[in-house]
Structure 1
Amino acid sequence: MHRIFLVLFLALISQAAVAANLPDFPFIVSVGKAEREVKPDIATVNLGIVSFESSSELAIEKVGLATDGVLKVLQSYGISASAVEATDMEKSTKRRRDSEYNNLAILGYEVSRALIIELNDLSKYSELVSDIVAIDNVTGVRTAFDVTDRIEIERELVGIASKDARNKAEQMAEGLGTKIRSVYAISQNSDFGSFFATFGARSDQILADLASPTGRARVVMFVPKTITISQGINVVFRMK
Structure 2
Amino acid sequence: MFKPLVVALALVLLPFAAQASNLPDYPFIHTTGEGFAMIAPDMGEIDFDITAYNADPAAAAAAVAERAAQVQALMVEGESSASLRDTRKEMRTAEADYAVRSSVHIVVRELGKWRPLMQALLALPNVDHLSTTFGRKDREKVEQELTASAVKDAQRRAEAMAAGFGKKVGAVNAISSGQLRNLTNAVGLMPGDLYYRSNRTVDAAPADKDYLAIEALRWSQTVDVIFRIK
TM-score category, normalised to shorter length: 0.7 to 0.9
Distance 2:148 2:156 in 1: 13
Kept in 1, the 8 Å contact 2:175–2:226? The answer is: yes
Q: Secondary structure at the match of 1:88?
A: strand
Q: Secondary structure at the match of 2:111?
A: coil
Distance 2:9 2:96 in 1: 61
Kept in 2, the 8 Å contact 1:208–1:221? The answer is: no
Matched to 2:217, the amino acid is I
Cα shift readout 1:132-179 (whole Å, capped 9, x = no counterpart): 122111112222111222211211121121111011101101102212
Percent identical across equivalent pairs? Answer: 29
- In the other structure, the counterpart of 1:60 is 61
- In the other structure, the counterpart of 1:238 is 228
TM-score normalised by the chain length of structure 2: 0.79
CA gap of 1:110–1:231, structure 2 versus 1, over 3 A, is: same
Which of 129, 146, 153 in structure 2 is aligned with 1:140?
A: 129
Kept in 1, the 8 Å contact 2:170–2:228? The answer is: yes
CA gap of 1:50–1:229, structure 2 versus 1, over 3 A, is: same
Matches within 5 A, 1:80-91: 83-91=81-89
Distance 2:20 2:107 in 1: 49
Q: Secondary structure at the match of 2:31?
A: strand
Number of residue pairs the alignment of both structures matches? 213
CA gap of 1:10–1:138, structure 2 versus 1, over 3 A, is: farther
Kept in 1, the 8 Å contact 2:50–2:101? The answer is: yes
Matched to 2:228, the amino acid is R
1:30 positional shift: 0.7
> RMSD in angstroms over aligned alpha carbons?
3.1
Cα shift readout 1:181-234 (whole Å, capped 9, x = no counterpart): 211211113xxxxxxxxxx6524565646x9849x896443123x322321111
Q: Secondary structure at the match of 2:115?
A: helix
1:124 positional shift: 2.5
- In the other structure, the counterpart of 2:105 is 116
TM-score normalised by the chain length of structure 1: 0.76
